Structure formats: structure tokens, C-alpha cells
A and B are shown apart, each in its own frame.
Chain A
Amino acid sequence: MSVICIVDDDPDVRELVEYKLVQNGHEVLSATNGQDALLLVPDAKPALLLLDVMMPGLSGFDVLSQLRANPATRALPIIMLTAKAQDADAERGFALGANDYMLKPFSPRELLNRINAQLMLVG
């Protein structure tokens, strides 16, 4: 069981992910925007972060680069979860230090698999 944090401005997406993860034995924290995520993550120290890109205020890319700049969160596994479907967006995400990149709409099953894979890599 791990604590997983999801940051997304769409409550339905948050609920869907939370449902799937809780169903599979994880604990879920959620934030609705980038600013909250930056406050929440260093304190809560989740095992993994699911991060939306297009959000009002700070974008997911902004949050990603700030977390990577912070030594406490530098190694945190982060999966980008976004509707930005272009290759260039994915490349940017990886360049900024994302561990994985999933396009919306996504299969909850596949998301769970990828989360588990990332958690396993961290050990």
C-alpha cells in the first residue's frame, strides 16, 4: 500500500482515479491545482504523483520543474496525465523529468499497471 497524490482540476477525473486506486489498495491524496500540489507534496511525501498538465494557474510543467528543483522531491516518481496529445508535449514532460506520460482518455487499468511499475522501480 502506498500513498499516491493526484493533481487535476477535473473532480471527476480525480474521483475516477481515486476510486480505482483505493479499490486496489492505495491511499490517495488529491489537489485541485498546482499551488496546492506544491504545498501538499513536500509535507505529505507521497510515494508517487499523478500530475495533470493543463490547469488554471501553475501548469503541470511548472509544478514538475519546481518539484525537480527541490531536493526533497527530486526523486519522487511523477506520471503526467494529460489531454495534450502532441508528441512535443510528451517530449517536454520527459525533458523536465517526468517518469511517465499518459494521455487522456486513459485506461484506469493501464494507469494502475504503470503506477505499480513505477513503485516497483523505486523499490
Chain B
Amino acid sequence: MVGAVSDVGVQRPRAVPARTNVSALVATPDSPLLATTLMRSFELVAGIALFALAATAIVVVLVPSSSAARVGFAVELVFVGVALVVLALLLSRRSARAVMQPLEVLDRALARITSGDLNVRVQLDHAAAEIRYVGDSVNAMVRELTRLRVIEIERAKDQRVRRELTEVVHASLDRDHVVQRAVEVVGDALEVDRVHIRLLEREHGRLAAEWCRSEDIAPVTSVALLDEAEPLVRLIGVTDDRNAVVIDDARDVARFSVEQRQAFGHVSVRAALKYPIIVGAQVAGAIVASEQGTARPWTKSEVVLMEGFAREIGRALDHARAFELQREMVERLGVLDRSKNEFLSEVSRELRGPLATVLGYIEMLTDESAQNVTVEQRHMLSVVERSGEKLLVLISNLLTMSRMEAGEFEPKLVPVDLPALVRRVGEAVGPSLANGSLQLTVNVEPGIQLVADESQIERALHNLVANSVKFTPPGGQIDVFAGFERSDIRSDIVIEVRDSGIGIAVDEQDELFTRFFSATGPRRRETLGVGLGLYIVKQIVDGHDGSLRVESQPGHGSTFTIRLPVRTGETRRRASDRAADTTTDHPVTP
């Protein structure tokens, strides 16, 4: 710590009662006023004097003596007595006034003080010493009250300023914005010439923000750092020091060397207050308030205020840093996601070329025109062809997934001929029904008006049926049903695929529609895909605001149910526009 904090010391008055009971100073009707008391006492004195005078006169008259002398003496006595009485009365009045006037002054002063006026000073130059002493005490009390009030006002201002700073610095998550607003608020609050914030970057403090009260103030940016001026470096730069640096006067001969004083002069710093900014647990920078031309004895409350500022700025910077990291992370993930999607669609395209040759040659080899292919070779070729077809499905699923993830899979809603669609799917799956050992039945309710993306729904149904084919052993049964399901509230179009296959364990049913899900257990051995088929079904159904359910028990087959909302042919809006809009769904009766 370079400097000492000077105290806002108002000297404590000598004789102020710890608790001044103001109301006790006001006379009450029960106790006689001092003036009355004094008057009465002097009247008493005058009475006694009068009485003594009368008594003397009587004695003089009664005691025999020469009458002339007696008369003269008596007259003298009477005069003296009257003079005494008058004197006594005069004295009493004067004394009463001498005591009363200062007391009245005090009384008025106290009345003003009680009403909140602290500009009152009691002036009792001619009063008695004791009363002047009371007056001094009243003055001291007023000073103390004033001091307390100033402290109270300062505290309220500090709190207001800190609140303001907190609001300002936390209003933004942008680091540069935070520090810029902070120097402005701190500069206003401390009423200094300039405030700057340096943030630590690669060992050096980068000037992050600066505020100057006016154009006459030289910014610290304009001066080069002088390494030899150690206190200056500690002040202007950023060090690992966690303490405040308080410089009341940079020209303090007792505290700074000639070189140091010159260095301060170079950067136009006469007084400065610095507090480190701590972000997390590290010193991240410092905030410095400085005066250009005048010394400034920083008060303790200012230092405390600065500490609070530095802490708030540190917190705000911490938030900003966390936000920045998060933003970067999200951005990087976004880039990664985009490049993944691009990669997927690129790869799926690249795979299609070679597959074209494979499948093309197989077709040519198995054409009737190819005469010299043996039955055995023909079988082998059909296996190769089937594998090629599976690969093709896989590739197109990958491509579909990458398009879904890239948000390029909005359904195009058109009226769909559902019976024809179901029939097409049945025909497409037909060849894979294990040479007739699987039975496929199709049952479509007449009159269904489905409005949907035809190719997407066909694909969803195809994937469901293909999934059932995959997991149904020879001799099994697959039933496809499409129809209405009505309730009081709404009616849905239901497409159901039921199989007598190996079923799905309950704990796997929840994950069934997630990406790359692969079953465990007996399903695992049967699985050839990468787990995209059902995920795509789910995405398509979601895109149509529908729902997809599975009911299954291991060993007892599975039932997949797609429910799609009923729409009229005119409702050809995009699915995303219809979110939370259910009132336009008009039930259509078959």
C-alpha cells in the first residue's frame, strides 16, 4: 500500500453530552420561568430593605434625641432606603435580562435545530461564561449532526451509484461495452478528471476503456509507460497486486522520489485511486481514477466505493466471459453441424455413383439376354443386388437425415390418395417378404382425405413396413391398416402397421425413434441398418404435427401407429405455420 487513507476527521467537540435531550431545554408551565424567579428574589430583597428602613425610622422616631437631628437622620434614612429599593429593582431587572436574553437565543436556536435546520450557530459574546459554554455545546452538537447527515447522504449516494453501476455493467454481456459504461458511471460518481480500465492480456494491461471529464483532460493513452517509474507502473499498468493503490498527492516529497514525481508529471497524474479487477480468482485488470491537476485526499468511503465498483465490474466481466465462451461454443457446434450435414450429403452423393455401376452391371448380368449365367451364379448375383439395394436405402436415409438436420425437410402438403400410397408400399416391400413366407395384408377405410407430403408419408410407411419385415420371422403376419379415429374433440387419420414379430423390450421402446438407435438382444442380430429408419419416420410424423406410437411385447409382435391431424385440401400451409393452431382442423366425415 503506497498511501494512507486520510480520515474525514471532524474533531469531536469537547463537551457535547452524549445524549442531548432537546425537549428538556424548553421550560414547562409547571416550573417558574427564570426571569420571574429572579424578579421575585430582587423584589424580596427590596421588600426586606423597605421593611428594615421602616423599622429604623420607627426606632429613630421612638428613641428620644434632639428632634432636628432626628428628623434629618430620618430623612436621610428614608432617602437611603428608597435609593436602595430602586437600586434593587433596577439590578433585578438587569440581571434578569442578562440571563434571559442568551437563554432565549439558545431556545430559538434549539427550536430551529429540532425542526431540521442545521445552519444555526449560536453566538453569545456577552453572555455569562456558563451560558456561553452551553452555547458552544449546542454549536458542537449542530456540527456533529451536520457531519452525520453528510455521511448519511454520502452513503445513500454510494448505494445509488453502486446500484446504477451494477445495473449498467450487468445490462450487457459484451466485454467492451461493460468496461466502457463502467468508466462513465465511476467517473460521474467520484467526480474525478478521468477513469480508465486496463485488462490483462498477455502480461500487459491493454487499455480497455477510458473516460475523461472534459477535453482538457489528457487521456492516459497518450503517454508511454515509463518502466523505471515503479509506482506509476503499478498505478497505470496491471500487476498481480490485489490491493488498492491510493495516491493523495503525486508530488508528495516524503513519499515519492524525484524520478517518480517526474513520471507522474509526464502522465499528468496528480492524485489517483486504483483497484484491481478480479475475474474468477485471477487479477484480470484494474480500474484507476485519477486527478490531473489537483491533489485529492481520497476518503475512506471513496476507497470502499471503488472496491465495490471493481468487484461489480469483475463480476460483470466474468458473466461476459462465460457468455462469450458459450457463444463461441454454440457457433463452433453450428459450424461443425453444418459441415457434418454437408459431409453427409456429399458422401451419400459420392456413394451413389459406384452403386450405380454395381447395380447396373448386376441388372445386365441377370437380364434374360445374359445367357451364360448359371443358376448358382444367378443366386449369388441376387444376393449382391439385395445388398446393393440395402446400401442404397442406407445412403438415402443418411441424406434424408442430413436434410432434416439442416432444416430442409419441410413437408409440402397436397391431397394424398392414401389407398394408392399404401398399395404402392405393399408392392415395393413385396419382393422382400422372404419368398412368400410372410403374409402382408392391407386394409384401408374408404373416403380418407389425407393432406400431407405424399413422398414423405410413403417413405414413413415404407420404413415402418420394412422394419416389421426385418423383425418378423418366416411364417409371420404383417397387417397395414389406414382409417379414421374419432373422438369427441378431434378426429385423426391413423396408419397402423402390426406385425407378429419378435417384439421390442419395454425399456427400448422410448429410445426406438432416436437417431442411430440399434436394438440389443435378439433384435441386434437381425439388425442390418444403422438405426435411421424409425428416426426418419418420427421426424416425418412430427413434421406433419402427428404422433407416432409403438405398442409391443417381446415375443408378441409390435404395433406402430401414426396419427395425423385431419386437414382439408385447402389447408396447404407449411407445418411450421400451424404450430399451436388446432382450430382450423376440420373433421372430414367419410
Residues of chain A at the chain B interface (Cβ within 8 Å) = 10, 12-13, 16, 19-20, 23, 54, 83-86, 103-109
B363 touches A109 (CB 8 A): yes
Interface residue B360 (Cβ < 8 Å from any Cβ of A): yes
Interface size on B, residues (CB 8 A): 22
Question: Does B367 count as interface, using CB distance less than 8 angstroms?
Answer: yes
Given contacts A54-B349, A84-B349, A85-B396, contact A106 B367 (CB under 8 A): no
Among candidates A10, A19, A86, residue contacting B353 with C-beta atoms closer than 8 Å = A10
Instruction: Check A16 against B360 for contact (C-beta < 8 Å).
Output: yes
Q: Does chain A have a CB within 8 A of B354? A: yes
- Residues 384-406 of chain B, each 1 if its beta carbon lies under 8 Å from chain A, else 0: 00001000100010010001000
Find out whether the CB atom of B363 lies under 8 angstroms from the CB atom of A107. Answer: yes
- Expressed in whole angstroms, the Cα–Cα distance for A105 and B42 within the complex equals 135
CB distance from A92 to the nearest CB of B (A): 15
**CB contact under 8 A between A16 and B357, given known A86-B403, A108-B364:** yes
Q: Is B361 an interface residue (CB 8 A)?
A: yes
Q: How many angstroms between the C-alpha atoms of A107 and B353 in the bound complex?
A: 13
Contact sample, A vs B, 15 pairs, CB 8 Å cutoff: A10-B357, A12-B353, A12-B354, A12-B357, A13-B356, A13-B357, A13-B360, A16-B357, A19-B364, A83-B352, A104-B355, A105-B360, A106-B356, A107-B360, A108-B364
Question: Which residues of B are found within 8 Å of A12, using beta-carbon distances?
Answer: 353-354, 357
Interface centre among B356, B359, B364, B367 (most CB of A within 10 A): B356
| B347-375 contacts to A (CB < 8 Å) | 348-350, 352-361, 363-364, 367, 369
By beta carbon, the residue of chain A nearest B352 is A83
Q: Is the CB of A105 within 8 A of B403?
A: no
Q: Which residue of A lies closest to B350 (CB)?
A: A83
Nearest chain A residue, comparing its CB with the CB of B391: A105
Contacts of A106 in B (CB 8 A): 356, 360
Of all chain B residues, the one with the shortest Cβ separation from A108 is: B360
Q: Would B353 and A83 count as touching, CB distance under 8 A?
A: yes
Report A-chain residues with C-beta under 8 Å of the C-beta of B352: 83, 85, 103-105
Contact B399 A85 (CB under 8 A): yes
CA distance in complex: A104, B388 (Å): 13
Which residues of B sit under 8 angstroms from A19, Cβ to Cβ? 364
Q: Is A105 a contact partner of B392 (Cβ separation < 8 A)? A: yes
Q: Which residues on the B side are within 8 Å of A20 (C-beta)?
A: 360, 364
Closest B residue by C-beta to A111? B360
Q: Which residues of chain B from 306 to 357 have a CB within 8 Å of any chain A CB?
A: 348-350, 352-357
B388 contact set on A, CB distance < 8 A: 105
Nearest chain A CB to B160 CB, angstrom units: 61
Complex Cα gap A19–B360 (Å): 11
A104: chain B residues at CB < 8 Å are 352-353, 355-356
Q: Are B359 and A105 in contact (CB under 8 A)?
A: yes
Interchain CB contact (< 8 A) of B355 among A84, A105, A108, A109: A105
* Interchain nearest-CB distance for A102 vs B (Å): 10
- Closest B residue to A15 using CB positions: B357
A58-B316 Cα distance, complex, nearest whole Å: 54
Chain B residues with Cβ below 8 Å from A23 are 369
The digit string for B221-250, where 1 denotes a CB below 8 A from any CB of A, is 000000000000000000000000000000
Chain A residues whose CB sits within 8 angstroms of the CB of B349 once the complex forms:
54, 83-85
In the complex formed, the residue of A with least CB distance to B346 is: A54
The 10 closest A-B pairs by CB, nearest first: A83-B352, A105-B356, A104-B356, A12-B357, A83-B349, A104-B352, A105-B359, A105-B355, A16-B360, A108-B360
Known: A85-B399, A86-B403. A108 touches B363 (CB 8 A): yes
B361 partner residues in chain A, CB cutoff 8 A: 16
Q: What B residues does A54 contact at CB under 8 A? A: 349
Complex alpha-carbon distance, A108 and B360, angstroms = 6
Q: Tell me, rounded to whole Å, the shortest Cβ–Cβ distance linking A15 to chain B.
A: 8
Least CB distance from A87 to B in Å reads 8
- A88 CB, nearest partner CB in chain B, Å: 9
Do residues B367 and A109 form an inter-chain contact, with CB atoms below 8 A? Answer: yes
Residues of chain A within 8 A (CB-CB) of B367 are 109
Q: Which residue of A lies closest to B412 (CB)?
A: A87
Instruction: Output the nearest chain A residue to B455 by Cβ-Cβ distance.
Output: A87
User: Considering the chains assembled together, what is the distance between the CA atoms of A13 and B353 in angstroms?
Assistant: 7
Measured CB to CB, the nearest residue on chain B to A86 is: B403
User: In the assembly, what is the distance between CA of A122 and CA of B58, in Å?
Assistant: 172
By a CB distance below 8 angstroms, the chain A residues around B356 are: 13, 16, 83, 104-106
On chain B, the residues within 8 Å of A85 by CB distance are: 348-349, 352, 396, 399
The smallest beta-carbon distance between A4 and chain B, in angstroms, is 16
Q: Which residue of chain B has the shortest Cβ distance to A107 in the bound complex?
A: B363
Interface centre among A20, A85, A104, A105 (most CB of B within 10 A): A105
A86, A104, A106, A107: residue with the most chain B Cβ atoms closer than 10 Å? A104
For B103-114 the 0/1 string (1 means CB < 8 A from A) is 000000000000
Chain B residues in 8 Å Cβ range of A103: 352
Chain A CB count within 10 A is highest, among B359, B369, B396, for B359
For B360, what are the chain A residues with a Cβ–Cβ distance below 8 Å? 13, 16, 20, 105-108
* Residue of chain A at shortest CB distance from B364: A108
New contact pairs (14) apart from A10-B357, A108-B363, CB-CB < 8 Å: A10-B353, A12-B354, A12-B357, A13-B360, A16-B360, A20-B360, A83-B350, A83-B356, A84-B349, A104-B353, A106-B360, A107-B360, A108-B360, A108-B364
In angstroms, how far is the closest chain A Cβ from the Cβ of B346? 9
CA distance A105 to B360 in the complex (A): 7
A107–B364 Cα distance when bound, in Å, is: 9
Chain B 432-463: CB-based contact to A (< 8 A → 1; otherwise 0): 00000000000000000000000000000000
Which B residue's beta carbon lies closest to that of A102? B356
Q: B403 — which chain A residues lie within 8 A by C-beta?
A: 86
Distance between A113 CB and nearest chain B CB, rounded to angstroms: 13
Report A-chain residues with C-beta under 8 Å of the C-beta of B355: 104-105
With the chains together, A18 CA to B21 CA distance in Å?
118
**Least Cβ–Cβ distance between B476 and chain A, in angstroms:** 31
When chains A and B are docked, how far (Å) is the Cα of A13 from the Cα of B355?
10
